[in-house]
C-alpha cells in the first residue's frame, strides 16, 4: 500500500511540475519561441524536441542572442520544452 501511495504522490508532483513549467513557458518563452516551440523567422529558433539538459543550459547561461533567464523553475521549463513535439 505504501508503494502505491508513494507512486501516486510522485505522479502528482510530476504533473504539477510539468504544469508549472508549461505556465512559465507560456509567460516567458512563447512570445519568441512559439506556442509549440516552432520558433519564428523574426525572433527565435525552433526549440521543440531539444534535450532537457541543452534547454536548461541555454536558459541559465544564454546562447546566441538569448541572454540568460533567471527563473526558479528552469528544470521544469526544460522538461516541458523537451516534451514538445
- Distance, in Å, from the CA atom of 57 to the CA atom of 45, rounded to the nearest integer, reads 16
Which of the two residues, 1 and 42, has the higher pLDDT score?
42
Domain residues for 7? 2-82
Q: What is the mean pLDDT of residues 22-48?
A: 85
At 6 the pLDDT is: 40
- Please state the domain count of the chain: 1
Strand partners, 63: 66
- Kindly tell me if the per-residue pLDDT of 14 is higher than 60: no
What's the CATH number where 23 sits?
Answer: 1.10.760.10
At 82 the pLDDT is: 92
At 39 the pLDDT is: 86
Supply the pTM of this predicted model.
Answer: 0.73
- Kindly tell me if the per-residue pLDDT of 7 is higher than 50: no
Amino acid at each position: 500500500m505504501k508503494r502505491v501511495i508513494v507512486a501516486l504522490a510522485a505522479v502528482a508532483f510530476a504533473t504539477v511540475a510539468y504544469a508549472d513549467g508549461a505556465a512559465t513557458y507560456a509567460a516567458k518563452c512563447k512570445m519568441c519561441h512559439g506556442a509549440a516551440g516552432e520558433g519564428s523567422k523574426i525572433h527565435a529558433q525552433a526549440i521543440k524536441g531539444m534535450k532537457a539538459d541543452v534547454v536548461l543550459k541555454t536558459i541559465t547561461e544564454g546562447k546566441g542572442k538569448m541572454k540568460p533567464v533567471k527563473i526558479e523553475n528552469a528544470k521544469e521549463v526544460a522538461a516541458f520544452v523537451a516534451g514538445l513535439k
